[in-house]
Structure 1
Amino acid sequence: MVELYGKTLSRRQVSERSGMLSQFAGVRLMTLGDGVERGIRMLEFRTGSGLRFTALVDRALDIADCDFRGQAIGWHSPSGFRHPGLHEYEGEEGLAWARSFSGLLLTCGLDHILFMNEVPADSYNYPPKKTVRHSLHGRVSTIPARLTGYGETWDGDRCVLWAEGIVQQSTVFGEDLHLLRRIEADVGGNEIRLSDRVVNHGFSRTPHMYFYHINVSHPVLDEGSRYLAPIRDVVWAGHAGERYEAQKVGYRTAPAPQLGFTEQVWQHELGADANGGVPVAVVNDRLGLGLEVVTRKHQMPCAYEWQNFQAGHYALGIEPSTHHVLGNLAARERGEMIWLEYGESRSYNAVFRVLDGAGEIAAAESRIAAIARQPREDYPRPSGHFPVLGGRS
C-alpha cells in the first residue's frame, strides 16, 4: 500500500485520484541548460511524501539536490553541479576535484580515495608506465553514466521509483572498473536506497578503494545540530595536537557558520547492529528534522566525519569508507588494499532516511545508542589505533 497525504491507498485508489502517477510522484529526466551545469542530464525523483531529490546522470548518478517539504538537506557549494567536460583531473596539483564538489552525495573511487598519491603501476604490465598519479578522491564522480533505465514499477500495491546506470572508469594499460548503480525510493516513503557494485572488467589485477562523501547542509545543519554515531573509539583527527581545541569545535555539536574556519576531519571506529548496519545521523532538534545514513560494516568498515563550517561553505560530511584515512600507499603497505581480478566485484548498500519530527529523531538516537554510546566529551583523545582490515584479497 502507498501512504499519501495521510491516507493508505491501493494502486487502484491512487489511479482513481489522478490521470497519471506523476501528479503525486515519479522520476523525470531533464537536462540542465545554463552556466557550468549546461548539458548535464538529471533525474528528478518525487516520492509524494515531500521528499524530492535529483541524480546527476552525467556525474556518476550521484545525488545532487535533496529536500524534504521545501527544507534543504543536500549541500550546494559555490562550485555548482559543474559539467564533467570542464573538469581537469590533474589540475591544481590534484586538488581540482574541489571545483566539482557539490551535492548530497559524491562517490569517491574507484581505484583511489583521499589525498594525492603516486603509486606503483606494475600490475598493468606496461613498462613505460612506472607509476599512477592520483588526484584527490579519484576519478569516478566526474564520469558520465550510461543510463540503462528509470521509471516507476508497481509490485501489487507498492510502487518503487528507480534508476539504473553504469559508470565506466577505464583506460588502456590501466584500470577497467565499472560501477553498476541502482537508486530506489518508495512512493509515499522518506528513504533513498542506493545499491552499488564495482566490477573489474579488465584482465589486470586492479586496486579498488571506495567511499561516500555525504554532505548535509543548512537547515538540517545549524548551530546546535548534533552528530549521532555508534562510536566505539575516536581513532584519528586531522587537527589533533596543539590545535585540537583551538577552533572550539568538537565532534558532537555544530556551531553557526564561522569566518576563517579550517576543515576538521575525524575517523571513528563505529559499531554495527545485529544485521551489520551502521547508522549515522545529523539532526536538528529545533526543526525536528534530520538525515540518517545506514551502511554495512562488512562493506565499508571505516568512517570519517568531515566538518566544513566555513561561512559560505557550511556543511557536515558523513563518510563511510572501505579504507582508513591513512590513504592509498598506507593501504598497500598494511596489506589492506582491495585487489580485484577479472570479473571480481564488491557490492555496497546505503539507505538515506529523512527523520521527520522529534519522535523519529529520538528513535534513531535510541537505535544508535543501543549499538554503542558515543563519547560525551566534545574532544575525546584520538587513540591512534587503526584496526586491521580483513577480507582484502
Structure 2
Amino acid sequence: MSAAQLRRRTVDGRGAADIRMLQVEDGPGRGQRLLVVRNAAGIAFEIAVDRGFDISNMTWRGINIGWNSANGMPWPPNSVDAEEGVGFYRNFDGFLVTCGLDHIGGARRSDADRYIHKHRKEVFHPLHGRISSQRATLSGYGIDWTTDAPIIWAEGVVRQSSVFGENLVLRRRIVVDVFGQAIRIDDAVENRGFRPTPHAILYHINFGYPFLDQATRISGDLTKDIVSAFNSEDKRPRDDFVDYYQETPVISDLPTASVELHNSALLGGLCVQLSFPRKALPTFGIWRAFQSGVYAFALEPARRFSWDGADDSITLGAGETAAYQIEIALRPTSE
C-alpha cells in the first residue's frame, strides 16, 4: 500500500505506526524520558533516552519478549561505582543494555598513565562500564512517510567523559520499518578527546518471560554442542540457580552472523533473530540467569578490550571512530 493510499485510511498514520515522547510520572523511574514506538507488524518497544538510549521494553503482538528486573529503571540511576564496582546491578533492567564504552566485564582498575595527570594514577572500571547509565542528547525522532517503505526512526548522542580521562561519544540511530519485522541499531563510537583511549562494547540483549520459558530453543551460527545443550536443559526458574556467562564460538564464514531463539508455544510460534558483524563484534556469549525472581537469558555480541593486548582490542586515537550495526528480527515461526 502506498503512503497516499494509507493516508486515506489513517490521516496521521497512527492507525499503522507511532512514535511519541513520554515521561515517567511514578515509581522508581519517575522523571525519565521514553520514546514509545509501535509499528504495523506488531513490534512495540521503548527507548530509554536517559539510560544510554537503550531499549527498555520489547513486545511483539502484545507478547513480552524482553526482560525487566525488580529495579524498575531507576532514575536518576544508582552509582555504578558503588558496592565495589557492582552498582550496575542496582540499575540493570531492560531488553537492550549497552555495556562499555572503555570496559566490559567485571570491575577492575587499570593504569592511568595515558591521561598524563599527576593526581590520576589509575582508572576504576565498574562492572560493564558506565554508558548504560548516561543521559542522551536527543538528535531527533519521527516517521518518514515519504518513501514506499516508510520508517520509524530515532537518533541520540550519549557521552562518557571525565576531566583528565576518557571522552567517548556514542551516536545511535534506531530504525524499524513501518511494515517491517526488524529493528536496526547503527552505532558509532568516537574518541572526542586528544589522548588514546581503550574501547570496548557489549550488547546485552535480554529475554524474559513468556518468550523465555521451557519451550525456548536456540539455533543459528553456533556449534552443535552449544545448541543441543541449551535445547535439552531445564530452563525452569530455580531458587538456587547460579547465573553464568558462556563464551561461545560463532561458526559462520559470512561477514554477518545470526543466532535465533524460538518459542513454538506462543501464539503459533515466535522466532527472534539477532544478526551482527563478526569482524566488528568478534566475541559472542550467552548468559543464563534462571534464578527465581531474576529469570533472564541474554545473547551478547561484543568487542572486549584485553588489557594484555589481545589482537581484537581497540585503542581509539584522537578523533577515531568504531562503527557497529545489529539487527533484531521478530517473525512467526511458520515464516
Q: Kindly indicate whether residue 239 of structure 2 is the aligned counterpart of residue 259 of structure 1.
A: yes
In structure 2, the residue matched to 1:140 is: 131
Where 1:152 maps in the other structure, the secondary structure is strand
The residue number in structure 1 matching 2:55 is 63
Report matched runs for 1:234-245 at 5 Å. Answer: none
Q: How many residues align?
A: 331
Structure 1 residues 142 and 234, CA, compared in 2 at 3 Å: closer, same or farther?
Answer: farther
**Distance between the aligned counterparts of 2:150 and 2:319, measured in 1?**
33
Cα offset, 1:273, TM superposition: 5.1
Residue matched to 2:93: 102
The code of the aligned residue for 1:332 comes to D
CA RMSD of superposed structures (Å) = 1.7
Secondary structure at the residue paired with 1:23?
Answer: coil
Counterpart-to-counterpart distance in 1, 2:310 and 2:277: 22
Structure 2's unaligned 5+ residue stretches are none
Contact 1:234 1:267 in 2 (8 A): no
Q: 1:154 aligns with which of 145, 148, 153?
A: 145
Candidates 219, 226, 244, aligned match of 2:217: 226
Shift of 1:312: 1.4
Change (3 A) 1:229 1:221: same
Distance (whole Å) between structure 2 residues aligned to residue 344 and residue 155 of structure 1: 34
Residue 24 of structure 2 corresponds to 32
Read off the aligned partner of 1:321 and give its amino acid letter: A
Secondary structure of the corresponding residue to residue 150 of structure 2: strand
TM-score (norm 1): 0.81
Q: Provide the residue aligned with 1:341 in structure 2.
A: 317
Question: In structure 2, how many angstroms separate the alpha carbons of the residues matched to 1:318 and 1:234?
Answer: 17
Q: Distance in 1 between matches of 2:311 and 2:61?
A: 47
1:96 partner amino acid: G
Q: Considering fraction of residues, name the structure with more helix.
A: 1
Q: C-alpha deviations, 1:88-116, integer Å up to 9, x for none? A: 12111111101111111000000000001
38-47 or 284-293, which deviates more: 284-293
Mapped to 2, the partners of 1:98 and 1:308 lie a distance apart of 13
Whether 1:295 and 2:276 are equivalent positions in the alignment is yes
Aligned equivalents of 2:225 and 2:136: distance in 1?
36
CA contact (8 A) 1:59 1:142 kept: yes
CA shift for structure 1 position 80: 1.3
* Matched AA of 1:18: T
1:367 aligned residue: none
2:233 equivalent to 1:277: no
Q: Report the alpha carbon displacement of residue 333 of structure 1 after superposing the two structures with TM.
A: 4.2
- The DSSP-based 3-state class of the residue aligned with 1:36 is coil
Match of 1:212 in 2: 203
Residues 234 and 268 of structure 1 are in contact (CA less than 8 Å); yes or no, is this contact kept in structure 2? no
- Structure 1 residue ranges without an equivalent (≥5): 1-8, 236-248, 361-393
Identity among equivalent pairs (%): 36
Q: Is residue 74 of structure 1 aligned with residue 54 of structure 2? A: no
Cα contact 1:234–1:269 (8 A) shared by 2: no
Select 2:166's aligned residue among 154, 172, 175: 175
The residue matched to 1:220 in structure 2 has which SS?
A: coil
TM-score, length of structure 2 as denominator length: 0.95
- CA displacement 1:104-135 (0-9 Å, x = unmatched): 10000000000011111111111221110111
Kept after mapping to 2: 8 A contact 1:220/1:290: no
Structure 1 residue 315: Cα displacement: 1.1
